[in-house]
Amino acid sequence: MTQKRTQQIKNIFNYQVKDLGTFMSGIYALMIGTILLTVDYTINFGLNFRMNEVQIYSRLISVSNVLISILIGISLTTFSVIFVVMQLASSQFSPRILRHFLSNDIKMQKFIGLFIGTISLCVLPQLASVIFHQTPFLLTLSVGSLLAFYCLTWSYPNMITYLSINMNVSSITNRIKCEMIQEINVLYQENWIFGKNLLYKRSKINPDKFKIQIVSPFETGYLDSVNYKKLEKVTEYIINSDVGLFFENAYQKPIIGEFIMKDTTALMVLVFNEELKQNQIISLKKEVGAIVRNTFKVELFRSHTQDVNFGVRKLVDIAIKAISPAVNDPTTCLNCIDHIGEIAKELAVREFPSTDSRTLGLKKMQVNEFNFEEFIDFCYDQIFQWGKEDPTVVKRIVRSIRVILPLVENPFNLKILIQQVEEMELLEIYNLSHYKNGRLKISKEKLVTVEMELSKFRQKAKFHIKRLEQKGVLDHYEMNRYSDNLEIINAEIEAIKYLKTYKILDESIYENGNEIT
Secondary structure (H, E, C), 130-198? HHCCCCCCHHHHHHHHHHHHHHHHHHHHHHHHHHHHHCCHHHHHHHHHHHHHHHHHHHCCCECCCCCCC
Q: What residues are paired with 367 via a beta bridge? A: 252
Mean pLDDT of 480-487: 88
Model pLDDT, residue 510:
44
Model pLDDT, residue 6:
59
Instruction: Of 1-5, 60-64, 128-132, 188-192, give the lowest mean pLDDT range.
Output: 1-5
Sheet of 247-252, strands arranged across: 210-215, 266-272, 247-252, 365-367
**Per-residue 3-state assignment (H helix, E strand, C coil) for 1-44:** CHHHHHHHHHHHHHHCCCCHHHHHHHHHHHHHHHHHHHHHHHCC
Confidence category of residue 9, pLDDT binned at 50, 70, 90: low
- Ramachandran angles phi, psi of 328, nearest 5°: 55, 60
Residue 103 has pLDDT above 70, yes or no: no
DSSP string, 230-249: HHHHHHHHHHTSTTGGGEEE
Mean pLDDT of 87-112: 70
More confident residue, 243 or 327: 243
Residue 211 has pLDDT above 80, yes or no: yes
* Pairing of the two strands 221-226 and 266-272: unpaired
